[in-house]
Amino acid sequence: MSKELEFENSVKNILEYIGEDVNREGLEKTPSRVRKAFEFMCGGYKQDPKKIINQALFTSSNDEMVVIKDIEFYSMCEHHMLPIIGKAHIAYIPNGKVVGLSKIPRIVDVFARRLQIQEQMTEQICDALHETLNPKGVAVMIDARHMCMEMRGVEKICSTTVTSALRGLFKREKKTKDEFLSIVAQSLHK
């Protein structure tokens, strides 16, 4: 049996387990739709962040902070496979090279489109940029809502979790870190 059919049969089993009729009109194609949705939502496993960045590196004399704010993303928590919905704010200080701006949100998506915990995702994004760009510093801050906290469990609607990861000058120099925090502060909790 193919992996696709195994997945779809598993979805049918889940539907039956919760008390649904897998043969009713609205659910006939659901197993296939769920499989395709998971292939898309977990597509980050098949992507290499270093390849994405290396395709768009450019020589530059700029040595000032580059910030991309409010990068919307969705992920799924690895504990309950429920959505995490949030925004990433990323800064780096070039060290002879800059990366095409569209590549930064793509790196966020590479790691968001995996089963995740927010703390790890923040570190993974920061490390991928730090290792590939070799900048003077990288800062990543993520502000997200977790449906595993809102839809079940403690049911705390609209609570957010903020995580950060700092490398290089952002970690060593308070002034640099404070500048980044000042820039992203207006975006937090929007």
Catalytic residues: 77-80, 118, 146, 148
Distance CA 130, CA 166 (A): 10
| C-alpha dist (Å) from residue 142 to 2, 40, 62, 73, 87 | 38, 22, 25, 10, 6
With beta carbons less than 8 A apart as the criterion, state whether 77 and 121 touch.
no
Check residue 48 and report its DSSP letter: -
Burial of residue 109 (number of CB atoms within 10 Å: 0-12, 13-18, 19+): buried
With beta carbons less than 8 A apart as the criterion, state whether 15 and 29 touch.
no
Distance CA 29, CA 32 (A): 6
Q: Strand, helix or coil at 19? A: coil
